[in-house]
Chain A
């Protein structure tokens, strides 16, 4: 049995292990980038404070954003890098403490995404071992898998981004699928584009709205016409049924992937590359590990791309979470796609598991 300080020391050694640079971003960070990246939903979790000139700052709510931002500004931008971190973060919670210790790993621009992800899984597992967590449940999700399925499904293209946008939000997605299922063939008379633009322009001027700042008459008219087209663009019932079946697949990972394979085969969609990748990662976990695959599981952040995961302890709390987020660096200003993967672990929850 280890002591609390031994566990913490072991974790500190892990985040500055071989080939990993430990970094410690400032505690006080500008709040703007967090709102820009993750929107108001994450924004409400921030502990905000205002500078004398009105600039908004927040107490560090996560490590990934400042680490990646600094990396992009550095000489090393675009070159393979591995960063580790350990320290307090601050988030508004409904109840109780708002200061937590978090540790984690960020792997950037790695030449082989699969190898990088296995390294991330390894990091998470080693962390759990440090805290004597033996029966953590691993929950995997496939963002890339869902995107590949969506691309192959038979439906009017206009609906694909709308469905993708709701992936990971069960209720919003369900509402959309229900709406699509009850969609009527709209055949209302629509005026031509030029007339519409003219009408909208007049209305906007009457309302005192700027025609150039924000949504302009063309955008509104075009989307209006697109809506009319959407109402006419029915998604086949078989596609909706397939989507629903897919999203409902959850359970022991091997079985879940087999079910997805059968579903895809039936629909004539080739998911073999994605499924193969997932199976390779599963093998790395070993046969004994309780790994579940949940087809509908995805973080509500659009920069996640490939495989995502969560590890949950006996207490039902998420102890480690992460995955691949190849779109993150572009969102933060990189001019080309830079592969990224990593995970964060919740030190306080791990410590509670160790004591339990």
Chain B
């Protein structure tokens, strides 16, 4: 008998939100082995295996097609692979974890308010300072794509895995690309989002893999789950 794999974030508030979303549709996610178990089940639809993974791994495996359907952040889909967005279907935004990935510059840079200002600054940065403009971010792929779209090539990325907003004051980078929900952390660090600096709007979402090995039976199964969740519209895009 065919089955599909549903990946659920393995911990934190995101796991709870996922359970709540499914529960509202009359579907109960069980985790028989408790918090240490990585295997669960979905009561209400037969043939669905539930696996618990960290959100980053869910994004990667959805893009590769090793997981059929799962809950993770839209930002992670964009960051994990260049072809991430076209490898999946966003079936149902969960209205949780809403945040923007943004380009922010030091507030004292009064001459830089838009991406085209940054383009100017980047183009002669090396001539003025003997090094490239440095951007601190954990969103390496997202940043590269966004800057390429704006025709900006003259910069270097400094990978930052935490406290990115502190990078300019620490002298590690000149500007940052980071995720923010209210902008208050940025403001507290005297950073300002460019007027056209929102790269993408992210939130947690139920996402279906397009690259998984779909056949009619498995499509019917995922269709059942999506229908229960009121997201049957996604089925046509898989």
- Please list the residues of chain A having a beta carbon within 8 angstroms of any beta carbon in chain B: 35-36, 38-44, 94-95, 161-162, 165-166, 169, 171-173, 175-176, 179, 196, 199-200, 203-204, 206-210, 213-215, 217, 219-221, 223-224, 226-227, 300
Contacts and interface: CB of A to CB of B under 8 A. Distances in A.
Contact of B153 (A171, A227, A300): A300
Interface in B150-168: 150-151, 153-157, 168
Nearest to B86: A94
Contact of B169 (A38, A42, A176, A209): A209
B189 interface: yes
B83 interface: yes
B82 A219 contact: no
Nearest to B151: A172
Contacts of B49: none
B108 A223 contact: no
A62 to B, nearest CB: 16
A166 B151 contact: yes
Interface of B: 82-83, 106-111, 116-117, 119-121, 123-124, 128-129, 132, 140-141, 143-144, 147-151, 153-157, 168-169, 171, 174, 189-190
B155 A40 contact: yes
B155 A39 contact: yes
Contact of A40 (B128, B147, B150, B174): B147
B169 A224 contact: no
B169 A207 contact: yes
A301 to B, nearest CB: 8
Contacts of B143: 40
A291 B190 CA distance: 54
B109 A220 contact: yes
Nearest to A331: B126
A44 B141 contact: yes
Nearest to B168: A209
Given A40-B147, A44-B144, A210 B171 contact: yes
Contacts of A300: 151, 153
Contacts of B124: 161
B14 to A, nearest CB: 29
A200 to B, nearest CB: 5
Contacts of B148: 41
Given A172-B151, A227-B117, 7 more contacts: A39-B156, A43-B144, A44-B144, A169-B151, A200-B108, A214-B129, A214-B174
